Amino acid sequence: MTAAYPLVLVRHGETEWSRSGQHTGTTDLPLTERGERQAAALAPLLATLLDPYPEPALVLASPRQRALRTAELAGLAAKPDPDLTEWDYGAYEGLTTPQIRVDRPGWTIWTGDPPGGETAEQIRARIDRLIARIRPALATGPVVLFGHGHAGRVIAARWLDLPVPYGRLFLLRPATPCVFGTEHDHPVIERWNLPNPVDP
């Protein structure tokens, strides 16, 4: 399990739907003006985080424009990786949690069963595949991932060898870096939701 270098996870900057609380899986929304400012503000923050280390061994982003644009404005050239896409919400795409709860009281994505979307088991397999793929790179340099809110929280849970529903414990804010590592060969989260200078 030893990772010589850190794994840095960044959620994309603000979009209209992230601001309104609408579930945004497959819909390819651009960043808002505030989201662009958040993404640009990541550049010095990530430079400071990565300064003690060699150049990143790997920089990956979800193929959605909001993640790729966040990486670009943060000053990193990211390779698109479909395993970093957001949870597929199926019929709940574009809906807010209160709207969904009209018919399904108490529902959250952590029940793992959006109708017509991706199950908890499917996203677990996808994120486990991603983590297995980046582990060799972490032996040679830091790895930076630009992704999404719920999928990013699944990455946190699976890094810690926790079941997918434990992702509910890791609120992930837009354009805030998080740092994963190991201690005594055990996976740990070193930092979470580092403040973005654009936000108070």
Per-residue pLDDT of the chain in tens (200 residues, 90 and over written 9)? 556 899 999 999 999 999 999 999 999 999 999 999 999 999 999 999 999 999 999 999 999 999 999 999 999 999 999 999 999 999 999 999 999 999 999 999 999 899 999 999 999 999 999 999 999 999 999 999 999 999 999 999 999 999 999 999 999 999 999 999 999 989 999 999 999 999 86
What are residue 69's phi and psi, to 5 degrees?
Answer: -70, -40
The verdict on whether 86 is a catalytic residue reads yes
Q: How far apart are CA 39 and CA 146, in angstroms?
A: 11
Q: Which of 14, 86, 93, 118 is catalytic?
A: 86
The verdict on whether 16 is a catalytic residue reads no
Per-domain residue ranges for the chain? Answer: 7-179
Q: What architecture (CATH level 2) is domain 7-179?
A: 3-Layer(aba) Sandwich (3.40)
Contact by Cβ (8 Å): 30, 18? no
State residue 171's pLDDT score. 97
State residue 83's pLDDT score. 98
State residue 118's pLDDT score. 97
State residue 31's pLDDT score. 98
Q: How far apart are CA 140 and CA 58, in angstroms?
A: 9
> How crowded is the C-beta side of 49, counted as CA atoms within 13 Å?
28
Helices (H), the chain: 16-20, 33-50, 65-73, 97-101, 120-138, 149-159
State residue 112's pLDDT score. 82
DSSP structure class, residue 63: S
Q: Which of 12, 23, 148, 150 is catalytic?
A: 12
Which residues, listed in sequence order, are joined to residue 11 by a DSSP beta bridge?
A: 147
* pTM for the structure as a whole: 0.96
Contact by Cβ (8 Å): 128, 52? no
Q: How far apart are CA 102 and CA 91, in angstroms?
A: 14
